Amino acid sequence: MARSKSILTEARQIERAVTLIHLGARLQVLESETDLSYERLLRLYKEVAGRSPSKGQLPFSTDWFMTWQPNIHSSLFLNTHEYLNKVAALDEIDAVIKAYQLYAEQMKAQGLEPLLSVTRAWRLVKFVDNGMLTMTPCSRCGGHFVTHPHEIARHYVCGLCHPPARAGKGKLAGSLGAAARDIGTVSTH
């Protein structure tokens, strides 16, 4: 890996890495997005997070993004990410960081658990870049949602316009569950 000679470049990379660690990114994200060596990243991680990074492989499947609640969270993040990319010229990783901060902040404001981790958000952007995932407008509300490519746009209805029958039956705190359950009871009256 080509090491950057510039101290300023390195300082910026360290700053990015620190931001990503604070957001909870896995070490693989840092390795991929900076030119810092594995050893330095590991030390930085321990210093910033106060613990060793979690081990194991990154999730590599696109399936997670297609399940009901994760799809809603991923769509909010990706819309924010696209927004930033359309209005400003940002480095790829900075766009991910800034969009993720805005997403996490919105979740906090609404008292919801941020289901999407920054690592997943980063993966999502990679999947979209590779053409493995895309966004399709919902035929009812017009909002753009994360889908597999080649989704037939004319027939596509998003998970919010048409929630699945058993949506939100889980008891996860801060999930959309309570809301969805109550729709169920309201509609039976």
Partner 1 sequence: MTPDQILAEIREANLSYLMLAQSLVRQDKEQALFRLGVSEETADLIGMLTSAQMMKIATGNQLLCRLRMDDDVVWNLLTSHGKGAANDGMSRLHASILMAGRHHEAA
What is the binding site for partner 1 (CB under 8 A)?
72, 75-76, 79-80, 82-84, 86-88, 90, 94-95, 98, 101-102, 106, 110-112, 141-145, 160, 163, 176, 178-180, 182-183, 186
- Least Å distance between CB 66 and partner 1? 16
- Least Å distance between CB 45 and partner 1? 24
Decide whether 31 or 92 has the Cβ nearer to partner 1.
Answer: 92
Decide whether 41 or 96 has the Cβ nearer to partner 1.
Answer: 96
Could you say which DSSP state residue 88 is in? Answer: S
Decide whether 27 or 136 has the Cβ nearer to partner 1.
Answer: 136
The token duo for 59 is 């999730």
Decide whether 40 or 144 has the Cβ nearer to partner 1.
Answer: 144
What is the per-residue DSSP string for 105-120?
A: HHHHHTT----S-HHH
Distance CA 131, CA 125 (A): 10
Distance CA 166, CA 189 (A): 18
3-state secondary structure 133-165: CEEEECCCCCCEEEECCCCCCCCCCCCCCCCCC
Distance CA 35, CA 97 (A): 17
- Least Å distance between CB 52 and partner 1? 31
Distance CA 133, CA 5 (A): 36
- Least Å distance between CB 82 and partner 1? 7
Decide whether 75 or 117 has the Cβ nearer to partner 1.
Answer: 75
- Least Å distance between CB 43 and partner 1? 28
